Structure 1
């Protein structure tokens, strides 16, 4: 009996010794091994608290104020915003957060409540820039949303359900990239995430594992039975728009000035017409009118680039700047011609 006990003790020591050989000093070998194999360096040094601490002070509450029946200024709605320029006091948010405001109240992380003013807003992108005049602000570093990967860790910070839950931090992953979301007739290119985004989060920040701003939280699908479907405007999409809003208060978009429908492959075969954009109306005084486009013309290519839908045709125009000249391949009464048009600014 005693010999069995001695053997058991020896085997136990051998097992501990073998296990000890697998682990370097400190007993963290397995954790370190897993961390080194992770696609996110230092993932076991969980980054969310660090991100919350560094980015949290740059998240503000924005209260949309309006006049009541008693002529007092009252809260109409509220949302979030992200300070992007600490020196000049610029804040990025969603257009729907500030739309219709008679006054804006901006709440800072340190408890200050300041009056904000709209520098510019853009309905099509659902983005706006607000300015506050004060010092001792914290701005966020801006990342590169084009480098995001599906499955990557993201952190959302905002004010769900109002100021009572200011700077709420949630985390998740990038669920999908290059999604298209239609909200109130506005089509947005968005990042999809399962990080919790709720009413009041609009205009808040979506951050990568380095604490860099990579998106502006904008919407969620709130259908019954649907969970974990939030959306953010990629920061690389937002940057040029924000720059224009700061510089001139609006976004200048190129305009051709035609209305019509796209001739599909089936319609093309039935009517024996080429596929393309069939013009039903040419706006008076538009670049299209100046170029000589007419009702009944079919645009089949733009700068020799074909397209398979009216939206693709619009995207080809949108890829240009105001003042650019474009060549249009046009089918007119059985003949193919080429017309040049100089794009002007879309009327505001």
Structure 2
């Protein structure tokens, strides 16, 4: 193709284009094609929506990272925050939701947290339509306001990272008779170690979230408990390794659990806290990380979670910059 294009140069210059120059030009064309492909991966802005803004949407984000790398997840919100988010932020290309919703003027796809092949095909078909529409579009010039927003955002991520590392605990040989007793003891532990304004409300919100469906990795005997609540004033991440197994009810049967990852956050806490905390959820697809949580020493488990938070911080501020 470059040889054909060089004929235009030969006519314009009145001189032949040597073979080595054609090869050199072909390298430039190849680089341009690769750069265009890389740039295309950053064009598709996606918003994730689930019932609480954490949990299943973070599992979905991990699947997107593996199966749809051309998507850039700009945020994860709960259903009740959706309208406000869309009003206050730049438009997105797609909304992926684990709940059935209907929206005007926005592409909304209802998907499972594990992204089936049919769902991926539908999304890719829509992305191809968006790519065609966006061809020839130019990025807006960087201005003082956008620089100021970026600096403020990076600072908020820094504060979120410091707070999460401060409020990250690993508790070994935690004892409980059953799941309900375990929840009671977790709430009591949170009240002793974090800023909990209403333990009863926090417990009720945690139990209500659990009734929507447990999050459980059966082969690893690892479960997640998480919620947002007005009963707690700060984000807390705790890993409880149980002295003996506790049964979880799932689909009419009992599954033994030995490790419980708990995330408790204020109802209206900074979104940066939840974005960073979700990095731990997304890392649950990585076997070395899971082994650190379930079989490593308390120090190794804590260090592994801190590393994931720091790595997520670098990734998130990299997107901002």
The structure whose residues are more often helix, as a share, is 2
Q: Say yes or no: TM over 0.5.
A: no
TM-score by length of 2: 0.22
Higher-Rg structure is 1
Where relative contact order (Cα < 8 A, 6+ residues apart) is larger, the structure is 2
The structure whose residues are more often strand, as a share, is 1
